[in-house]
Amino acid sequence: MKITTATIQHHTLQFKFEAGTSRGTLKEKDTWYLKLFSENKLMGIGEAGPLKGLSVEPLDKMESELEKVCEQLMGLEIPQFREDAFEIAEDISPDGFPSIRFAVETALLDAMHGGKKQIFDTPFYKGEERIPINGLIWMGSEEFMQQQIQEKLDAGFNCIKMKIGAIDFETEWALLKSIRDKHDKNEITLRVDANGAFDPNEAMNKLAQLAGLDLHSIEQPIKAGQIQEMTKLCASTPLPIALDEELIGVNAYEDKVNLLKQIQPQYIILKPSLIGGIQSTLHWIKIAESLNISWWMTSMLESNIGLNAICQLASYLNVKMPQGLGTGQLYHNNIASPISIANGETFYDLKKDWGEL
């Protein structure tokens, strides 16, 4: 069966609230859907959802690059094996556009499974397995953050991730302490994400203060690209460090190996849209595990199309640790989907249908 038509559809996702990070506040997010047809039947959908200010690709060139990809896809046979889908995606995806690579891979894998939003054959897709996730606390006023914390605890989350670095450190520390005073580490796992907010000269002192709260880990305490400083921190940190932005733009397999060998972090965070898709994610995992580095995956604020693919990848990899996959409820205008959340877990609710794009 051949791909007779390939099209793109732009969509602007609207946040339900102002989502604060150390890089600024998010109110909306552009995303593009790659649709593959055989004759008149929709066979596959993939999402290219770069994040302004973080992704490497220039947003003003997304549409033109996707149009070139569509031209190359038309007339190709729908792949029968995953490796063939990866090979096609590698051949036709433009350099420097990791989210497009993710979109091509997932659209082809969806088409390979018959256009049913199935990316992998996993218990998750069949509604038989739930994936533990962390509850995400966005930056904002102390009152707003406290409100989010209580909502996540009330919703049954036992792993909470708080973004820090936007308000003063003392207030953020006090918020974390307020959780820890009520719930020890055996009840609630606490993660923090600094998004590179700490100055290298003060990072170790702040890590020591945070470690006193029995935190699970901190993501990207200092800005990416400061390899020597990050290596020193990871070697002597009292709190496990997870690399996140540090992985952006590291594409060659050998460069991935060299980066992890040098820095030796305790964890890496994998965002397929940011690091070049599913195949690249699998490469990072293989290297990390060979170096005894643990990992987990998070979405990059994709709509439910991209989130569905990442959830299925997590299920395929048989994850046990809480993942960062609870972002499907962030938007007013997300596509309706079977992806649901209850008691700190995400699952595929077979009683729900996919909405129309």
Dist CA 61 CA 96 (whole Å): 11
Catalytic residue of the set 29, 161, 163, 256 = 163
The residue from 117, 152, 223, 271 that is catalytic is 271
Residue the block writes with tokens 């490469």: 283
182 annotated active-site? no
Beta carbons within 8 Å of 73's beta carbon, 6+ residues apart: 3, 6, 36, 88, 92, 104
Determine whether 256 is an active site residue: no
d(CA 331, CA 321): 25
Bridge partners of 218, per DSSP, are 192, 241
Minimal CA–CA distance to 345: which of 323, 315, 313? 323
Q: Give one word for 114, left, alpha or beta, with left for phi > 0 and alpha for psi -120 to 50.
A: left
Confirm if 22 and 165 have CB atoms less than 8 A apart.
Answer: yes
Side by side, the strands of the sheet bearing 345-348 are 131-132, 345-348, 339-342
Distance, CA of 137 to CA of 65 (rounded, Å): 34
The two three-digit tokens of residue 217, written as one number = 């880990």
Cite the active site residues. 163, 271
